[in-house]
Chain A
Amino acid sequence: MTALAGQVAIVTGATGGLGRPIAVALAAAGAKVVATGRNVERGEATVAAITVSGGEATFLAQDVTRDEDWQTVIAQTIAAFGRLDAVINNAGDARLAPIEELTLQDLEYLLDLNLHGSFLGLKHAFAHMGTDGGAVINLTALPAYGGAVRQTAYSAAKGALAHLTKAAAIAGRARGIRVNNIVPAVLFAGGEVSPGAVRVQGDPAAAELFKARAIAQSPLKKLGEPDDAARAAVFLCSRAGRHISGIDVFIDGGRQAGGN
């Protein structure tokens, strides 16, 4: 596949979760991928997964909440590949608890990682994307679009990010920079799970319960796979997505469509 031939993409949090399948899918579509994250070993494993099938990728250690790290990542990306076409702000985290138990530190941590980190990614993308424009994708979640139990802090952080995307999409219009949200919920494959499911990792009984509930809540009555989100990213970065900006691509089996 060559939908992204010639493109250069940065994927944050490409050390696991959805970051790895997104990085792999972009590379499989022909993009040169800069995979970033905090865990070198897991980041190198993502690069290996790409190069083994003939793709081109490199890993750079990065804490997305640090502006200096972004400067380094952008400089090295331009030095290695000469251009920047896509930034996938995938790095993020969730902390789920009743509001009485959440601390200000929890909220600040979630804002830092989910909102401020993606904001820096956007700023640097806008500064370094060329005259051809490009694509920025932010990863949000269903609690960004409505309240959810135990997710006050997470809703606030992802909700802010979802709207940052829309404002940035308007800002990017004149330059051909498109900014969209991908909203995964709930995606399972092997051991990889979405944020809501992290808390049940290592507890098979709880994981089964979580999966059963997610299936029951999904209008399609099934779980999605990380690759569903990865292929949405390829679509948004490709020429087919050239007039798509400011939208929310829900990969959720129809949950956001309404309730009944």
Chain B
Amino acid sequence: MTDLKGKLALVTAAGSPIGAACAARLADAGHHVIAADTDGTAAAAVVALIRQHNGSAEFAPLDASDERNWRAMAGHIRTKYKRLDVLVQAAMTLLVKPFTETTLADLRSLARDNIVAPWLGLRHCAPLLREAGNACVVNLTSTVGRTAHGGAAALSATAAGVRMMTKSAALEWGPQGYGVTVNTVNVGSVPWRPHAETTQDDLDLGPAIAPSEVAEAVLYLCSPAAKYITGMEITLDGGRSIGFPG
């Protein structure tokens, strides 16, 4: 078993712009970061960058929508560290398509990436988070789960699903006395994945948000300052999804 000086954080989609920013910020704040991604090259680059800044990080391959992958990941963490202090799930697949052109396969694929993946993360990391004492989970999703967007029915549905799944986990885990907080960060216009077929540019979600700003919100939710906050949502979109801006 490896003794950690700081806390242990697992960041999924760590090779994506948001995942990379969260990984770097958590490492900067003293966490040892497991940078998980299917894209080994991008995540390895994040690990290298963190080490260059004297931070501590390792790469771990993870297809977050596959349960066997999560079992292996949880097993790896249990064997090496025994606990998990921070889980940040930063994957999000966008799809902008008219409703009548959206196929069942599209919806299934989006649900797999956006709901099943973070559900598996919660499901398999739960025992490790309890082990940590004051652990926290932050699930990232799109603001279209708050305010529906024409041409993004499947996306809106899956993003809204993340919000309620997160609140339910908060309600279930709090009373068990392990002190695990579970929160959502809804993000507006941000590059989830570079080179993706659908990008945030296909949606009008407000001002461009820098991945580093998402990371600041995540770090706040993982800090002692937010220890009484659970089942809550921070929305980062400059106020775009509030109501009826005209």
B-contacting residues of A (Cβ < 8 Å)? 166-167, 169-170, 172-173, 178, 187, 218-222, 224-225, 228, 231-232, 234-235, 239-240, 242-247, 249-254, 256-258, 260
Contact = CB atoms under 8 A, between A and B. Distances in A.
A182 to B, nearest CB: 11
B232 interface: yes
Interface string B227-246: 11111111111110111111
A246 to B, nearest CB: 3
Given A173-B239, A235-B225, A257-B171, A240 B232 contact: no
A166 B206 CA distance: 16
B168 interface: yes
A231 B220 CA distance: 9
B239 A254 contact: no
Interface of B: 167-168, 170-171, 174-175, 177, 179, 181, 188, 206-207, 209, 213, 216-217, 219-220, 225-239, 241-246
Contacts of A257: 167-168, 170-171, 230-232
B177 A219 contact: no
A101 to B, nearest CB: 32
18 contacts: A170-B245, A170-B246, A173-B238, A219-B174, A219-B230, A221-B175, A228-B225, A228-B229, A239-B216, A243-B213, A246-B243, A247-B235, A249-B229, A249-B232, A250-B232, A252-B228, A254-B170, A258-B171
A228 B228 contact: yes
Nearest to A220: B174
Nearest to A25: B225
B138 to A, nearest CB: 14
Contacts of A243: 188, 206-207, 209, 213, 236-238
Nearest to B146: A247
SS class of chain A's interface: helix, strand, loop or mixed? mixed
Interface centre among A222, A247, A251 (most CB of B within 10 A): A247
B236 A253 contact: no
Contact of B242 (A187, A218, A220, A245): A245
B170 A219 contact: yes
Given A245-B242, A258-B168, A219 B237 contact: no
A171 B228 CA distance: 31
A244 B217 contact: yes
A219 B228 contact: no
Nearest to B236: A243
Nearest to A173: B239
B234 A247 contact: yes
Given A251-B228, A258-B167, A240 B233 contact: no
Given A253-B174, A258-B168, 7 more contacts: A173-B239, A220-B174, A224-B228, A228-B225, A240-B220, A253-B230, A257-B170
Given A173-B245, A224-B228, A247 B171 contact: no
A240 B227 CA distance: 18
Contact of B239 (A178, A228, A231, A252): A178
Contacts of B175: 219-221
Contacts of B216: 239-240
Given A221-B174, A243-B188, A166 B232 contact: no
B242 A166 contact: yes
A224 B216 CA distance: 22
B225 to A, nearest CB: 4
